[in-house]
Amino acid sequence: MLGDQLIKNERIALVEVIKNSYDADASWVKVTFEGFGENFRVDPKKSKIIVEDDGTGMTRSILEKHWISPATRVKKVAKEMKDATPKGRKIQGEKGIGRFAILKLGKTLSIITRPDKSQEEYTLDLDISHYDDDFLTEDSKPKDLFLDDIKLTLSVAEKATRIKAELVELGAREEKRKPHGTRIEVSNLRGSWSEGRVRDVYDDLIRLQSIFTDIDIDPEDKPQPEFEVLIYKGSEFQTFSDDYVDRLHTLIQQNAVLRITEGIFDQDKRTFKFQLNGKPMVLPLNDPDITGIALFRDAFGQHGEVLEERDTKCGPFSFGFFIFDFSKEAAGKYLLDTEQKKLLKEHRIYLYRDNVRVYPYGDPDDDWLQTDMYRGTKAAGMFLSNDQVVGFVNITQKENPKLKDKTNREGLIEIGDATRDFRNLLQILLAWVRKKPYEQYRIGVRTTKDAEIVKQQLVRARLSELEGALAGNKPAQAAVQEVAKLYQAERSYLIQRAETTETRGGRARLTAIGLILQNACVMHQCC
């Protein structure tokens, strides 16, 4: 029940299994759909999902003491002694229940594992297909079932037969397998599969680690990942195009209106620091542009009183955001075509802990920063839309111990104020981006557009087109000529007024008044 009923879907289940391979310092994980029909149709007798890695494997003692007992927090204890694996990875596991997620995939398991520096290979078999999903019957007969009634068998091969140093195909290359690792075979599959679902799994799995680490590196120069996930259908390598990461990077490099990079929230100094389009910025929480944001006042009091009594509880974090203009007014490189918009809409703000993704944040249908919700319930103009922002937030287990995953692996738990503070800070920062730099950009777009109208004398041109189109209708043509004359008179009058004001040195004053009005409008959202 911990696996099947707690975990939402097969995607999250596979992610859990693969995180265990990551923790075991594997350099690759192969997910094979064995015995599936066309379009990944499940054959109840033949279909199996096999997840194999070249990690450290499990010793007999780990299998006997931990694998078969729920919530033995070996990793949590190990982490307290040493916080990284020999490969330097921060251990992801903590609760001691992730493996049960495999039972979301199917009811019969066989775990074959060979620990590092051992000739022995162990096979642990578990079959729960005799029980109903609620464990109330065995072979359809009612039964009071307890955990120790569930039978597992462990067989030991003194000389490994499955996990051996032999050639293994990994996509386009072949290499000699390391003589250790784990292979999990799941049969009696529960759900149905299709090419689309496998592609979704693939998208999730290749996004397990941050896709933002090498944004500015050329696709050809990007290093080989140190942890690779490969999907096979039988012996066929499944090559779903994954150039979307490169395409996303190109969009970020070339078409983002605002690039907020190298961002950190310094909890001690209560300050955001970042580069805005390459320019260093420091934005303390007591900056009037921040305290003026309604979200700030809702979260931390009218004048930030809450922060006088306590610190923010989430801990420091780092971030990067890339803001695009989805409107038709966007000009030049900022104007996006349908394909580009489609790609951007598939990515939102990802959350990574020690460089590994916290699901489902970042998924297209996830709104963890409640942006769409606020846009719907408050003034839409106050917030950037979810579509136009792509980005990431990085946290660590060490610095953000209170930001913990829910047991069902669907986001962070609300403990005390930590998660709430974290979310509030990010929402406030994004509201600031909308209110200040993005607004300035929008004003620039509007002004350029208006200036173009004047420069090209578009009104006059359209009026004479209209006059032409009214040929044969003398009174209407006369009316249009009259409008043209009046427009010209008004234009001359306004130009003359503007020039007089300027010569009297009034320009600065007018600009100042204009700016005050503009800011007031932004603050009160009146336009």
| Min dist. Cβ of residue 45 to ligand ATP (A) | 27
Q: What are phi and psi of 450, to 5 degrees?
A: -65, -40
As measured in angstroms, the least distance from the Cβ of 396 to ligand ATP is 16
Q: Residue with the closest Cβ to Mg ion?
A: 98
Task: Using the minimum distance from each CB to Mg ion, give the nearer residue, 93 or 179.
Answer: 93
Place of tokens 């900056």: 287
Cβ proximity to ligand ATP, 58 vs 393, nearer residue: 58
Tell the burial category of 9 from Cβ atoms under 10 Å away from its Cβ (0-12, 13-18, 19+).
middle
* Contacted entry of Mg ion, ligand ATP, none for residue 207, CB cut-off 5 to 8 Å set by kind: none
- Residue 296 binds which one of Mg ion, ligand ATP, none, with CB within 5 to 8 A depending on kind? none
For residue 265, which amino acid is it? F
- Choose the contact partner of 335 out of ligand ATP, Mg ion, none; CB within 5 to 8 A by kind: none
Residue 373 contacts residue 385 (beta carbons within 8 Å): no
The partner in contact with residue 24, picked from Mg ion, ligand ATP, none with C-beta cut-offs of 5 to 8 angstroms by kind, is ligand ATP
In angstroms, the Cα distances linking 445 to 20, 196, 448, 513 are 49, 40, 5, 20
Which tokens is 147 given?
A: 């955990």
Distance in Å, CB of 115 to Mg ion, minimum: 17
- Residue 96 vs 362, nearer CB to Mg ion: 96
Using CB under 5 A, which of the segments 12-20, 155-163, 370-378, 471-479 binds Mg ion?
12-20
Report the nearest approach of Mg ion to the CB of residue 125 (Å).
20
Q: Are 34 and 105 in contact (CB under 8 A)?
A: no
Q: How near is the Cβ of 409 to Mg ion at its closest, in Å? A: 10
What is the four-CA torsion angle of 391, 208, 69, 67, rounded to 10 degrees?
A: -160
27 binds, among ligand ATP, Mg ion, none (CB under 5 to 8 A by kind): none
Task: Count Cβ atoms below 10 Å from residue 446 Cβ, excluding itself.
Answer: 11
* Binding site partner of 391, from ligand ATP, Mg ion, none, Cβ cut-off 5-8 A by kind: none
Nearer to ligand ATP, 94 or 200 (CB): 94
CB 226 within 8 A of CB 27: yes
Q: Which residue is nearest to ligand ATP (CB)?
A: 93
Q: How far apart are CA 173 and CA 175, in angstroms?
A: 7
Which spans of this chain sit near ligand ATP (rule: CB under 6 A)?
20-21, 23-24, 53, 55-58, 62, 66-67, 74-75, 93-99, 182
Nearer to Mg ion among residue 98 and residue 315 (C-beta) = 98
Q: Single out the residue of 3, 13, 18, 20 in contact with Mg ion (rule: CB under 5 A).
A: 20
245 binds, among Mg ion, ligand ATP, none (CB under 5 to 8 A by kind): none
Binds 67: which of ligand ATP, Mg ion, none (CB < 5-8 Å by kind): ligand ATP
How far apart CA 135 and CA 121 sit, in angstroms, is 31
- Cβ partners under 8 Å of residue 49, min gap 6: 31, 32, 33, 34, 105, 106, 185, 186, 189
Instruction: Tell me the closest approach of the beta carbon of residue 20 to Mg ion, in angstroms.
Output: 4
Backbone angles phi, psi at 184, to 5 degrees: -110, 125
Which segment (19-27, 206-214, 226-234, 262-270) binds Mg ion by CB under 5 A?
A: 19-27
CB of 94 to ligand ATP, least distance (A): 4
Shortest reach from residue 24's CB to ligand ATP, in Å? 3
User: Is 182 one of the binding residues for Mg ion (CB under 5 A)?
Assistant: no
What is the C-alpha to C-alpha distance for residues 336 and 245, in angstroms, rounded to an integer?
17
> Could you tell me which of 472, 392, 484, 382 has the C-alpha nearest to residue 433?
382
Q: In 3D, which of 389, 384, 335, 323 has the Cα closest to residue 361?
A: 389
Contacts of 448 (CB under 8 A, 6+ apart): 331
Q: Binding mask 82-121 vs Mg ion (x if CB under 5 A, - otherwise)?
A: -----------x----x-----------------------
191-230 mask for Mg ion (x: CB under 5 A)? Answer: ----------------------------------------
Closest CB to Mg ion among residues 13, 248? 13
Q: Of the two residues 348 and 409, which places its CB atom closer to ligand ATP in the complex? A: 409
Please identify which residue in the block is written with the tokens 């009259």: 482
Of 295, 276, 275, 277, nearest to 285 (Cα)? 295
Residue 478's φ and ψ, nearest 5 degrees, are -60, -40
Q: How far is the CB of 133 from Mg ion (least distance, A)?
A: 23
Residue 95 binds what, of ligand ATP, Mg ion, none (CB under 5 to 8 Å, by partner type)? ligand ATP
What distance in Å separates the CA atoms of residue 39 and residue 46, rounded to the nearest whole number?
15
Distances (CA, A) of 288 to 259, 276, 281, 293, 511: 23, 19, 15, 9, 21
Rule CB under 5 A: which residues touch Mg ion?
A: 20, 93, 98
